[in-house]
Amino acid sequence: MKRKNLENMFNLIDDDILEEASPIKPQKAITSKFRLLQIATIAACLILTLNIAITIPLLLMKGNDFNGGGKGGSLDKDENKQFEVIELPNLTDKENPSDKEDPTDKEDPTDKDEDDKVEKPQNVTNIQINVPGKPSNIITLTSPLLGAPSEYDKIVALMKDKIGSFGGSYGELDGALDEEIEDSSSNKNEQDSEYKETTDNQVAGVIEGDIIKRSGSYIYYLSGSTLKIYPMKGIGSTLLEQFSISDYISEIEKVLDIKIGKESKALRPIERPITPIFPDLTPDFDVMPDIDIIEPDFVEEIPNYSYVEEMFLSVDCKTVTIVVQHQIYMTRQDGSTYKGEIMVPYTSLISLSVEDPNNVYLKNITTLSGTYESARLVDGEFLVFTRFAPRTEELIIPQYNDGEGFKHIPIEQIYSPSVYKNSTYLLAFRMDEDTSEILDLGAIASFDGEIYVTNENIYVTRQYRDELKEEVEKYPLINSSGIIEGFGTKYNVYALTVTEILKIEYSSGRFLPVGTAKVNGYIKDRYSLSENDGYLYVVTTDQRVLTRTEYDEGDIGAEEDWVGFRNTTSASIFIVDIATMENVSCVERFASVGETVRSVRFDGYTAYVCTAIEVTDPVFFFNLENVNNITYSDTGTIPGFSTQLIQLNNGELLGIGVDENGYVKIETYRLGENGAVLVVDTYLIKGSYSLDYKSHFINRENGLIGLGIKNDALSDSERYVMLQYKNGYFSLVFDCVLRGANESKRAVYDEKYGFFYLVSNNDFAVLLPVGKVQK
Amino acid sequence: MDDSKIVNLFLKRDEEALKEAEKQYGRLCHYIANNILNSPLDAQECVNDTLLRAWNSIPPAKPKRLGAYLSKIARNLAIDKYKAEKSQKRSKNKDALPLDELEGCLSGTDSLIDEAILKDFINSFLRSLTKEKRIVFVQRYFYNASVSEIAKSNDLTENNVKVMLLRLRNVFSEYIKKYGL
């Protein structure tokens, strides 16, 4: 292994390990008391309204269709000549209502009873705050922590004060558009409940989270820890409401930030499971017996950390559920065996009522163990997946809280594979979308890979190294008299990366692991998996390392020959029968040696695979209809590669990636009459784009493709580009300034009125094609 | 200010991000760079370069743990500088890097190994160790801490640290063979 490998390796150490070992800790976080004081001070002082003027250029398109731009080429400014740039009126950021105390909010007489209830449960770590229905209802802390009533009182008071105190008003609209749009917006019964999908979900009906969601009348955008609501009123639309959940996050952190040890009522030592859950993964070497380790008397606290991940909008458009990830650093204080910081991850689902966008309020908070992996919304139920890595004995069995306190997941609900490859669990929770009630839960030990969810099944993966012994040749065995006595076999022995896929059925209402399949190679992401017509398609990068050559010489004895490291990658596709989870067909190593899978997309029986070595790629089209006869063709080597492949309605494929010069490359492909894959059209844009697929706008019906583009650090180079693909050609719809990170940029197209709405962390803009008239 | 807020400032292109990052992690980056370069002035230059590189890379990067993110940048910059100076024979640091101690663990292969394999290898190795041993190993070979510093920060004697590192190197070597690298 080269020195360079050694240096690279240390760059790949997981961040939590680096933090753990960091000799210099960051500045201490504000203590809880200070934080409360700070919140109170801010709340008391925040009377000022912040008027932040944001100027956003508005591009008006000429012509009645979208064929405004030039075909192909980079987007220089000259290409925008056909667009007239005007400026929107200044948008005013409203005061953050979450920082505002409502003086009219009086204590509910029933609060006292509820507060009394808070003291009863003792041994819990998670919280669940139920506020069903209306803003005037009481928050009930059903799972208090710390056994310190004063802490609960503070939380109850804080939560209660927030309820119902978030007013807002519509922004002003210009001219003749006002009346009509105001009318359509105010008629909430007709439009608010009309859920419109903004996310290009991998599986139809299996809704994925995102930072943007919309109803018929409103756009909901998650900017950090703030939910922003914009009415879709065309030109002049402005921020209607913003609701910050940062105070809730702080309080959740505080509640979860407990001390571990004898005094802790929250984390109990576990009863030993019947059979060991994990084998001893520690390498077999002696612990130094002659060293008396003295633990430090003081360990500097590491600040807790929370991160807002994504959100969901309920299909009735009444509830927004925001997913927040917490990293809570706990200090063990029993002093007997261990002293120091450990990080325990939690995931919170914070549900807000948005039934009346002028009056957003907290509905409930549910906190689950584990690092957030992903979630889906299927038929009114959440499937939430978190990852749980045991750090101490107390935490070796995953926990959950169903609102009645902290519990370990029952052993019968932990799926235990026959072989453990790592010490993590994947936790799966099925929850009611409206009440957040946990309907089912389970833990899958040792699976830590991708999660792919269909309407009936969940597939989870894990990846590990296996050994593959491949016969190379037969050779004669010659005795001392020079006579051939037989033949020996020469083998190449590879360390092979394999992926194991576990199928879990959930359509019966219970998580039911039913079987696993194993395929050679590793998968890039969940888009490498697709269920269709009773089969699971899997695309992998086949990675095998030749570790040694073995000679089988029968009685004479075996010889091992270390041949060193040889790494050869390629790509493979497998078909697995989901009834038996057996591999029924495959095409192994179809790509050239050294190539890895860069992107995969499935459309029914068709698989699209982009592989690449550095900056050249072939795109493969597979026909999987006949499992016994998989056919495929490819483009041959073309410049650049696609990081995302998107199937279009007409059987064509859209690739988003980079070309050999580093330009953003938007390209379409189709199967030619001679069976070869052809490049149909290419559009190049100077700049960089987001690798987050959800940040792209894909509207197949109208052939619209939108993405955030950034040229360099200059703010005016932060743009949003909308293209239309029609009749085999790309054309520019608009290219306008939209500040902010590409990952934060989202677009919404209102087909009814023809407006484009662009949102980012920094900007909000509305674009109206010229010639389209508001009804 | 916590990491998420600082990263948000980076994402908003707010220059306050640099101040806050420097305030929070400047000392750590300086420590890492100085351990490699053995020159406070060069180390400070490295800290500035680290912040500049973070400014240019966030976005699109959105690190969840800013300290670790900056540490890696600072370390890489310092090692590059160390190599450059060494090649021009003007290094102020006469000592070898701690990483050189691991050279003996390497096999004779010379191919570049895929990052996914390396990541899987190093993290599974580190997670297989007890916490104390993991910290000692990472402090020595990532943070380039001296034996005396490690001993002090972990309440061990220098001899204990030396013995522990020796054994850890043997385990590391075995792990490399076991992993087929």
pLDDT, tens only, A315-332: 889 999 999 998 776 655
- Reply yes or no on domain B3-87 having CATH 2.70.98.20: no
Question: Which of A366, A362, A276 is CA-nearest to residue A319?
Answer: A362
Q: What are the chain B neighbours of A278 within 8 Å (beta carbons)?
A: none
Q: Kindly report which listed range (A424-433, A557-566, A757-766, B80-89) carries the lowest average pLDDT score.
A: A557-566
Residue A389's pLDDT is 74
Å from A95 to nearest chain B CA? 19
Tell me what pLDDT residue B128 has: 81
Kindly state the tokens that stand for A541.
Answer: 């990068």
- How many residues are there in chain B? 181
Q: What is the pLDDT of residue A282?
A: 28
A252 phi/psi in degrees, rounded to 5: -60, -45
The ipTM value here is 0.87
B60–A20 C-beta distance less than 8 A = no
Q: Does A26 touch chain B (CB under 8 A)?
A: yes
Determine whether the interchain pair B113/A567 forms a contact, defined as Cβ–Cβ distance below 8 Å: yes
Choose the closest CB to B11 out of A495, A562, A741. A741
Q: Are residues A389 and A512 in the same domain?
A: no
Q: Which of residues 28-57 of B touch A (CB under 8 A)?
A: 28, 31, 55-56
B128:A305 CB<8 A: no
Residue A546 pLDDT greater than 60, yes or no: yes
Q: d(Cα A158, Cα A249) in Å, to the nearest integer?
A: 12
Does residue A63 belong to any structural domain of this protein?
no
Spell out the residues 6+ positions from residue A150 whose beta carbon is closer than 8 angstroms to its own. Answer: none
Which residues in B lie closer than 8 A to residue A283 (C-beta atoms)? Answer: 128-129, 171, 174-175
Residues of A in contact with B157 (CB under 8 A): 291
Question: A754 lies in a domain?
Answer: no
Residues A335 and A428 in one domain: yes
What share of chain A has pLDDT > 90, as a percent?
A: 25
Indicate if A337 and A439 belong to the same structural domain. yes
Asked if B4 and A495 come within 8 Å (Cβ–Cβ), the reply is no
**Fold of the domain spanning B98-179:** Arc Repressor Mutant, subunit A (1.10.10)
Crossing angle for the helix pair B158-179 and B115-128, to the nearest 10 degrees: 130
* Highest-pLDDT range among A158-162, A251-255, A414-418, A750-754: A750-754
Q: Mean of the pLDDT values across residues A372-400?
A: 80
Tell me whether B169 touches chain A (CB under 8 Å): no
CB contact under 8 A, A10 and B11: no
> Which 716-755 residues of chain A touch chain B by CB within 8 A?
739-744
Q: pLDDT confidence of A182, banded at 50, 70, 90? A: very low
Q: Which of helix, strand or coil describes residue B119?
A: helix
Partner-chain contact B107 A14, CB within 8 Å: no
Whether the per-residue pLDDT at B162 is higher than 80: the answer is yes
Asked if residue A247 and residue A126 are part of one domain, the reply reads yes
Which residue of chain A has the CA closest to B128?
A282
Secondary structure string (H, E, C) spanning A665-710: EEEEEEECCCCCEEEEEEEEECCECCCCHHHCEEECCCCEEEEEEE
Which of A285, A305, A567 is opposite residue B111, by nearest beta carbon? A567
Q: Is residue A549 within 8 Å of A488, Cβ to Cβ? A: no
Is pLDDT at A92 greater than 50 in this prediction?
no
Of A117-121, A219-223, A597-601, highest mean pLDDT: A219-223
Nearest chain A CA: its distance from B159 CA (Å): 9
Query: How far is the alpha carbon of A525 from chain B, nearest alpha carbon, in Å?
Result: 13
Q: What are phi and psi of B127, to 5 degrees?
A: -75, -15
User: What is the domain range of residue A522?
Assistant: 459-590
In this structure, the answer to whether residues A483 and A352 fall within a common structural domain is no
Given pLDDT bands bounded at 50, 70 and 90, which one contains residue A715? very low
B76 reaches A (C-beta below 8 A)? yes
- Can you give the pLDDT at residue A350? 92
Same domain membership, residue A543 and residue A428: no
Report the C-alpha gap between A477 and A443 in whole angstroms.
53
Tell whether A465 is within 8 A of chain B (Cβ): yes
For residue A78, pLDDT beyond 60: no
Residue A423 sits in the same domain as residue A467: no
Does A517 lie in the same domain as A406?
A: no
What is the chain A residue with the closest CA to B30? A24
Q: Name the residue among B12, B123, B135 with its Cβ closest to that of A13.
A: B123
Taking residues A53-82, what's their average pLDDT?
30
| Residue A452 predicted with pLDDT over 90 | yes
Please give the helix or strand (H or E) that residue B163 lies within, else none.
helix B158-179
| 3-class SS string, A77-141 | HHHHCCCEEEECCCECCCCCHHHCCCCCCCCCCCHHHHHHHHCCCCCCCCCEEECCCCCCCCCEE
Looking at CA atoms only, how far is residue A529 from chain B in angstroms?
A: 19
Higher pLDDT, B144 or A85: B144
- Amino acid A482: pLDDT: 81
Q: Do B170 and A286 touch (CB under 8 A)?
A: no
Considering only the beta carbons, identify the residue of A2, A6, A8 that sits closest to B115: A8
A714: three-class secondary structure by DSSP: coil
Q: Do residues A532 and A508 make contact, with C-beta atoms less than 8 angstroms apart? A: no
For A628-642, A712-726, A732-746, A752-766, which range has the lowest pLDDT when averaged over its residues?
A712-726
Whether A69 shows a pLDDT value over 60: the answer reads no
How big is the CA angle at A614 (ends B61 and A527), to the nearest 5 degrees? 65
- Interatomic CA distance for residues B129 and A423, integer angstroms: 13
Q: How far, rounded to the nearest angstrom, does the alpha carbon of residue A45 sit from its chain's CA centroid?
A: 37
* Chain B residue numbers touching A3 (CB-CB < 8 A): 103, 106
d(CA A762, CA A443): 40
Contact A224 B8 (CB under 8 A): yes
Cross-chain CB nearest to B109 (options A18, A422, A564): A564
**Which range, of A203-217, A386-400, B57-71, averages the lowest pLDDT?**
A386-400
User: Nearest to residue A256, comparing CAs of A124, A422, A168?
Assistant: A124
Q: H or E stretch including A634?
A: strand A631-634
Which tokens in the block code for residue A177?
Answer: 């558009």
For the residues B1-30, what does the mean pLDDT come to? 85
Identify the weakest region by mean pLDDT among A236-245, A335-344, A424-433, B112-121: A335-344
Pairing of strands A718-726, A729-737: antiparallel
> Which of A:199-228 have CB within 8 Å of B?
224
- Select from A590, A608, A633 the last residue of a domain: A590
Assess B16–A contact: CB distance below 8 Å, yes or no.
no
Q: A483 and A436, same structural domain?
A: no
Put residue A289 in one of left, alpha, beta given phi > 0 → left and psi -120 to 50 → alpha: alpha
Question: What integer pLDDT is reported at residue B123 of this predicted model?
Answer: 86
Report the chain B residue with the minimal C-alpha distance to residue A709.
Answer: B60
Residue B145 is nearest to which of A12, A23, A569, comparing CB atoms? A23
> In the predicted model, is pLDDT for residue A136 greater than 60?
no
The reported pLDDT for the residue numbered A528 is 95
How high is the pLDDT of residue B109? 57
More confident residue, B3 or A683: A683
Average pLDDT value for residue range A598-610: 90
**B window 84-103, beta carbon within 8 A of A:** 99, 102-103
- pLDDT for A309 beyond 50: yes
Question: Letter for the amino acid at A507?
Answer: S
Chain A residue with Cα closest to B145: A23
* Closest CA–CA distance from residue B169 to any residue of chain A (Å): 11
Are residues B112 and A2, on separate chains, in Cβ contact within 8 Å?
yes
Residue with tokens 């492909």: A669
Asked if A328 and A304 touch (Cβ cutoff 8 Å), the reply is yes
Distance from CA of A66 to the nearest CA of B (A): 30
Nearest CB to A281; choose among B128, B145, B163? B128
pLDDT number for residue A396: 63
List where CATH 1.10.10.10 sits in chain B. 98-179
Instruction: Examine residue A566 and state whether it is found in any structural domain, yes or no.
Output: yes
Residue of A nearest to B174 (CA): A283
CA distance A281 to A446: 12
Instruction: Find, in chain B, the residue whose alpha carbon is nearest to that of A545.
Output: B180
CA nearest neighbour of A212 among A757, A774, A767, A769: A757
B163 and A24 in contact by Cβ < 8 A?
no
Averaged pLDDT of chain A: 69
Distance CA B32, CA B44 (A): 11
For CATH 1.10.1740.10, list the domain ranges present in chain B.
Answer: 3-87
A560 has pLDDT over 70: no
> A728: left (phi > 0), else alpha (psi -120 to 50), else beta?
left
Task: Show the tokens assigned to B175.
Answer: 């792990």
User: How confident is the model at residue A696, as a pLDDT?
Assistant: 93
Dihedral Cα A430, A432, A435, A439, nearest 10 deg: -50
A13 touches chain B (CB under 8 A): yes
Confirm whether A554 is domain-assigned.
yes
Which of A335-339, B27-31, B37-41 is predicted least confidently?
A: A335-339
- Region A724-733 average pLDDT: 90
Alpha-carbon dihedral of residues A511, A513, A519, A522, nearest 10 degrees?
40
Task: Determine the residue type at A190.
Answer: E
Is residue A162 predicted with pLDDT exceeding 80? no
Query: CA–CA separation, A746 vs A738, rounded Å?
Result: 10
Q: Choose the weakest-confidence range: A132-141, A483-492, A614-623.
A: A132-141
In a domain, A667, yes or no: no
Rounded to whole angstroms, the Cα distance separating A130 from B42 reads 56
Q: What is the C-alpha end-to-end distance of chain B, expressed in Å?
A: 42
Higher confidence at residue A65 or residue A170?
A: A65
Q: Residue A184's pLDDT band (boundaries 50, 70, 90)?
A: very low
Contact status of B106 with chain A (Cβ, < 8 Å): yes
Q: How does residue A508 score in pLDDT terms, banded at 50, 70 and 90?
A: confident
Question: What is the C-alpha to C-alpha distance for residues A506 and A511, in angstroms, rounded to an integer?
Answer: 5
Interface residue A340 vs chain B (CB under 8 A): yes
Could you please report the per-residue DSSP string of B37-96?
A: H--HHHHHHHHHHHHHHHHHHTTT---S-HHHHHHHHHHHHHHHHHHHHHHTT--S--SP
Provide the percentage of residues in chain A whose pLDDT is more than 70. Answer: 63
Q: Could A495 and B179 be called an inter-chain contact, meaning their C-beta atoms sit closer than 8 Å? A: yes
- Chain-chain contact of B109 with A1 (C-beta, under 8 angstroms): yes
Query: Which pLDDT value is given to residue A308?
Result: 92
Tell me: pLDDT of A181 over 70: no
Residue scoring higher pLDDT (A290 or A14): A14
Statement: residue A662 has pLDDT above 60: yes
- Which position has the higher pLDDT, A213 or A567? A213
pLDDT for res A769: 60
Q: Are residues A189 and A320 in the same domain?
A: yes
Q: Which of A316-325, A428-437, B57-66 has the highest mean pLDDT?
A: A316-325
The pLDDT assigned to A120 comes to: 27
Those residues whose C-beta lies under 8 Å from the C-beta of residue A668, and which sit 6 or more positions away, are A648, A652, A653, A654, A655, A679, A680, A681, A682, A725, A728, A730
Strands A414-415, A438-445: pairing kind:
parallel
CA distance B64 to chain A (A): 8
- Residues B106-159 have pLDDT tens digits of 665 556 677 777 888 888 888 888 888 889 999 998 988 888 888 888 888 888
- Domain check: are A310 and A430 in the same one? yes
Q: Which residue in chain A is spatially nearest to B26 when comparing CA positions?
A: A26
- Helix H or strand E encompassing B125: helix B115-128
pTM flag (> 0.80): no
Per residue, what are the HEC states of A235-295?
CCCCCCEEEECHHHHHHHHHHHCCEECCCCCCCCCCCCCCCCCCCCCCCCCCCCCCCCCCC
The lowest-confidence range among A163-172, A182-191, A437-446, A708-717 is A163-172
**Is A475 within the bounds of a domain?**
yes
Measure CB to CB from residue A20 to each of B69, B113, B135 and give the nearest one.
B135
Domain total in chain A: 2
Residue B83 has pLDDT above 70, yes or no: yes
Q: Is A246 on the interface with B (CB under 8 A)?
A: no
User: Cα distance from B101 to chain A (closest Cα, Å)?
Assistant: 11
Nearest to A713 among B31, B56, B141 (CB): B56
Is residue A174 domain-resident? yes
In this structure, is residue A702 part of a structural domain? no
pLDDT, residue A254, reads 74
Q: Assess whether pLDDT exceeds 90 at residue A388.
A: no
* Mean pLDDT of all residues belonging to chain B: 82
Q: List A457's β-bridge partners, or say none.
A: A505
Are A249 and A398 found together in one domain?
yes
Residue B116 near chain A (CB below 8 Å): yes
Among the candidates A590, A609, A634, a domain finishes at A590
Buried/exposed A291-316: b ≥16 CB within 10 Å, e otherwise:
eeeeeeeeeeebbbbbbbbbbbbbbe
* Tokens representing residue A297 in the block: 């008397």
B82 touches chain A (CB under 8 A): no
Instruction: Give the E-state strand segments of A120-246 in sequence order.
Output: 128-130, 140-141, 207-208, 212-214, 218-223, 226-231, 241-244
Residue where one domain finishes, among candidates A559, A590, A621: A590
Q: Which of A14, A296, A567 sits opposite B123 (nearest CB)?
A: A14
User: Mind listing the pLDDT tens digit for each residue in A488-499?
Assistant: 888 888 888 899
